[in-house]
Amino acid sequence: MHYLIATVCLGLLSALPFWLGDYGTGLLVGLAGYVTLATAWAMFSGPTRYISLATVAFFGVGAYTVAVLNEVLPYPLVLLCAAGIGGVMALLVGLSTLRLAGIYFVIFTFGLAELVRQLITWFEVNVTGTLGRYIFLDLEAKHIYWQLLALGAATLALSAWIRHSRLGLALRVIGDDETVAAHSGINLARTKLVLFVASSVIITLVGAIQAPRWVYVEPSIVFNPTVSFLTVIMALLGGATRLWGPICGAVPLFLLFEWLSARFPDHFSILLGLMFMAVVYALPNGVLAALEKFRGPRGNGAPKDERKEVNA
């Protein structure tokens, strides 16, 4: 029954571009992109509580891969190359940084995004002699939306599978207490690395799929740190530890931010910072958790016997 409902909903969402105009379809592209970004971010950061600000680093790498390869390779191969580059980059970053925790991990991931942007800018200016690239792909907004919708559905399905797997259990134990997790027999490095790479590959693909929207890309466009902050706010607002939390946060916030950026373009960054602080202070566990608390105690999280020894 659940599969039937999911299929019907996916079919209805797929048909929306036929009913909406160009502006509406453009909104759908942005909305589908942020829903996927927030869901992929929460896949790793939700259970582990590792707040990553490297989203835009992988997003920008995906977009730039398309910009560089779109004239020499077929589009499917370009996406495959983007996923591979994002995966290798996440593997290298994860091996060197996932032993960090707390504010150190946050600072490193924020610095990583800036480092990648500066490296690409230096390479473009000093090696290729240009700062931006054109993307010549015959893709309309509806085609980009359908790709993002498929990727978003796959990401949600993967998140659901992980939550009910031994890997998801191991991640929740790590998020509660890494010392306890280590003594329980969980391979901390391997468990965190697998999810970090999977999450980063999806984020890279979002950037790659959305790249044709811009036609012309340069580092300041695709490595905009706002992407990282919006993704975090959306996931935290809905509840990064809930399956549907990122979606519940992404949909209203994306529409709100679109309205704010159009009405208050000069003050948008200030409003974004204020909202970030408000979400963290007022709703640390997200809207869904707050609603559950308001309705009364119904149990919180997994049963107690979930914390028994796990070999992951």
The DSSP result for 103-156, as a single string, is: HHHHHHHHHHHHHHHHHHHHHIIIIIS-S-EE------HHHHHHHHHHHHHHHH
CA 62/CA 269 separation, integer angstroms? 25
Number of domains in the chain: 1
For residue 13, being part of any structural domain is answered with no
Assign residue 54 the CATH number of its domain.
1.10.3470
Q: Give the pairing type, strands 216-217 and 133-134.
A: antiparallel
For residue 311, being part of any structural domain is answered with no
How many other CB atoms are found less than 10 A from the CB of residue 21?
8
Range list of H helices, the chain: 2-19, 22-48, 55-69, 75-97, 103-123, 141-163, 166-176, 178-183, 188-210, 219-222, 226-238, 245-263, 268-282, 287-295
For residue 11, being part of any structural domain is answered with no
Contacts of 84 (CB under 8 A, 6+ apart): none
* pLDDT, one tens digit for every residue, the chain (312 residues): 666 777 888 889 889 888 888 888 999 999 999 999 999 999 988 888 888 899 999 999 999 999 999 988 999 999 999 999 999 999 998 888 877 767 888 888 888 888 999 999 898 888 888 778 889 888 889 999 999 999 999 999 999 999 888 888 888 887 777 777 777 778 777 888 999 999 999 999 999 999 998 888 888 889 988 899 889 888 888 888 888 888 988 898 898 888 887 787 777 777 777 877 777 677 666 666 666 666 665 444 444 444 444 444
For residue 73, being part of any structural domain is answered with yes
Tell me the residue range of the domain where 237 lies: 21-298
Task: Tell which residue, 199, 186, 152, 210, has the closest CA to residue 43.
Answer: 199
Q: Using an 8 Å Cβ cutoff, are 61 and 78 in contact? A: no
Per DSSP, 20 falls in state: S
CA 115/CA 242 separation, integer angstroms? 32
CA 201/CA 85 separation, integer angstroms? 8
Beta bridge partners of 217: 133
For residue 222, being part of any structural domain is answered with yes
For residue 233, being part of any structural domain is answered with yes
Contacts of 187 (CB under 8 A, 6+ apart): 312
CA 310/CA 171 separation, integer angstroms? 10
For residue 12, being part of any structural domain is answered with no
For residue 188, being part of any structural domain is answered with yes
Q: Using an 8 Å Cβ cutoff, are 54 and 113 in contact? A: yes
Helix 245-263 with 268-282: angle, nearest 10 deg: 150
